Amino acid sequence: MSDVPIIDARGMRCPWPALRAARAMRDVSAVMVLADDPIAPTELAALAEQQGWEIARIADDRAPAFRLERPTRS
């Protein structure tokens, strides 16, 4: 997972975590977002659904963390 860029959105209020993730996803196929805003999970899930990306909540000691990823094409 170390090759995935980390978007540190701790302390940012929505919609900033989702906007930062969307911008990062222009250049990469996956990102990890650290976001402690209580609305962030909903906003990130809506962004992922709208873009056709996969989202997963992942364990991280720093803050609630989410991995956004483009689905692999077969």
pLDDT per residue as tens digits for the range 32-63: 999 999 999 999 999 999 999 999 999 999 99
Q: By C-alpha distance, which of 20, 70, 62, 61 is closest to 44?
A: 20
User: Average of pLDDT values for 1-25?
Assistant: 93
Helix (H) or strand (E) holding 69: strand 65-69
User: Average of pLDDT values for 4-14?
Assistant: 97
> In 1-74, where does DSSP find H-type helix?
16-24, 40-51
Q: Is 58 helix (H, G, I), strand (E, B) or coil?
A: strand
pLDDT at 72 over 90: no
Please tell me the distance from the alpha carbon of residue 13 to that of residue 2, in angstroms, as a whole number: 26
User: Average of pLDDT values for 8-23?
Assistant: 97
Q: Could you give the percent of the chain with pLDDT greater than 90?
A: 92
